[in-house]
Amino acid sequence: MGKLIVMDHPLIMHKVAIMRSKDTSVKDFRELVNEIALLMGYEATKDLQLTETEVETPLMKTKGFVVEKQVALVPILRAGLGMVDALMSLIPAAKVGHIGLYRDHETLQPVEYYCKLPTDIEKRQVLVLDPMLATGGSSVAAIEFIKRRGARKIKLVCIIAAPEGVRAVQEAHPDVDIYVAALDEKLNEHGYILPGLGDAGDRLFGTL
């Protein structure tokens, strides 16, 4: 069973509270998604492999450690895009794939409309990015696409998750660890997370 890591860091909790508010503007919402993704990225990259190297300071030679090129970021469109810049600033050498999925409003099933992934994805640690994990349908499908292309090391990074979505991902992909900033109560009858924050894509891009 994959691990569930709930990141109850005070700064993350503070920012999630502001994000949830219906009075938070599109601009502030976007900035908060970026800041939370940055803080989550620190934790989600903790086990990246290091290679020893030699560095020359102005005073002497010393041992250093570098992170080799080994990460692929895969945002689930649209809302996952809001988390990419933060992770790219932490790992500038990361490659970025995109998976376009939307939830059919009637069936709540994910519908694919785009998929472009790095060709060497099987060699990389993949971080799948999506602010919302609701029924889990989108994340489960995205991880399936990524695995079909050969990826073996995958983590899912979401800001807000419902227990239903966590269970769905853990059942479908027991090898995938899930990082969340907040584990909410449940889904409502329309598949929205309660208390949640509403529609993340609409709040990020101002399409309310």
Min dist. Cβ of residue 144 to ligand URA (A): 19
Quick one: tokens of 3? Answer: 């691990």
Which residues in 106-145 contact ligand URA (CB under 6 A)? Answer: 132, 134
Q: Is 153 helix (H, G, I), strand (E, B) or coil?
A: strand
Which residues in 164-193 contact ligand URA (CB under 6 A)? Answer: 191-193
* Residue 202: active-site member: yes
Quick one: tokens of 208? Answer: 């309310």
Which of 134, 154, 176, 182 binds ligand PRP (CB under 6 A)? It is 134
* Residue 103: active-site member: yes
Query: What is the DSSP track for 119-157?
Result: TTGGGSEEEEE-SEESSSHHHHHHHHHHHHTT--EEEEE
Catalytic residue among 78, 103, 120, 149: 103
Q: Is 125 helix (H, G, I), strand (E, B) or coil?
A: strand
Helix ranges restricted to H, 45-110? 84-90
Q: Which stretch binds ligand PRP (CB under 6 A): 5-13, 47-55, 91-99, 199-207?
A: 199-207
Catalytic residue among 51, 53, 62, 107: 107
Give the binding site for ligand PRP (CB under 6 A). 76-79, 102-103, 108, 110, 130-139, 165, 191, 199-201
